[in-house]
Amino acid sequence: MADETAAIPLLTPYKMGKFNLSHRVVLAPLTRSRSFGNVPQPHAILYYSQRTSRGGLLIAEATGVSNTAQGYPETPGIWTKEQVEAWKPIVDAVHAKGGIFFCQIWHVGRLSNRDFQPNGQAPISSTDKPFSPQLQSSAIDVAHLTPSRRLRTEEIPQIVDDFRLAAKNAIEAGFDGVEIHGAHGYLIDQFMKDQVNDRTD
Ligand SMILES: Cc1cc2nc3c(=O)[nH]c(=O)nc-3n(C[C@H](O)[C@H](O)[C@H](O)COP(=O)(O)O)c2cc1C
């Protein structure tokens, strides 16, 4: 009988849906804060291609789905034509070395501040509840967060559509797929967690 507890060596192939990965070492998404003006920069060609191996999976740094999605300095987006065009040579470089490249699409929700928002508006969220102190361990200092504005029910389809368009743009940029960032207390997590989501609609 096979030993089900036996470790699977990292450097063995793995079939992930339609992708045949040649090993199981994955580049985790890592925010770099070097995409000036929310546009990926040419230096990311070197960064990602250095981390590419033939048949290896890479997940790009969290990438904003819209102009309300940002909460950290100089993080990339994928909602404008300029951003899509800027991603293309980066994706091409990963493909040239045989890598499989996913874009992580992201909306920070209330983990933001009005300086990151269009017209200095309040960040949007599932809630307008103030932060509770246990969230102080977040990457952003709580003192710098602007109280969020609760999305109206009729606004939510627009946010879903932003994710849809971002995924479409990622494919247009050449990515092999997307990972929807649904963790770490960002917008989707704000809807998923009962401690934060106090909605009745
Ligand atoms: C500087 C830094 C940036 C990160 N950026 C992202 C990110 O953009 N998206 C994400 O899902 N996780 C992000 N993470 C979490 C890492 O992907 C996570 O630490 C990684 O999955 C490794 O997991 P481990 O620390 O449990 O080994 C970040 C972590 C660090 C340290």
Query: What local confidence, expressed as pLDDT, does residue 135 receive?
Result: 47
Query: What local confidence, expressed as pLDDT, does residue 141 receive?
Result: 60
Q: What is the pLDDT of residues 103-142, one digit of tens each?
A: 999 999 999 999 999 999 999 999 999 876 544 445 556 6
Q: What is the whole-number distance in angstroms between the Cα of residue 29 and the centre of ligand 1? A: 6
Is the beta carbon of 105 within 6 A of some atom in ligand 1?
no
Using a 10 angstrom Cβ sphere, with 0-12 exposed, 13-18 middle and 19 or more buried, the burial of residue 152 is: exposed
Distance between start and end Cα atoms, the chain: 52
Phi, psi torsion values for 19, nearest 5 degrees: -95, 135
Closest residue by CA, ligand 1 atom 31: 30
Is the beta carbon of 63 within 6 A of some atom in ligand 1?
no
pTM for this prediction:
0.93
Q: Between helices 81-96 and 156-173, what is the axis angle to 10°?
A: 40
Closest residue by CA, ligand 1 atom 2: 30
Please list the ranges in the chain whose pLDDT falls under 50: 134-137
Hey, what are 100's tokens?
């499989």
Is the beta carbon of 6 within 6 A of some atom in ligand 1?
no
Is the beta carbon of 71 within 6 A of some atom in ligand 1?
no
Q: What is the whole-number distance in angstroms between the Cα of residue 165 and the centre of ligand 1? A: 24
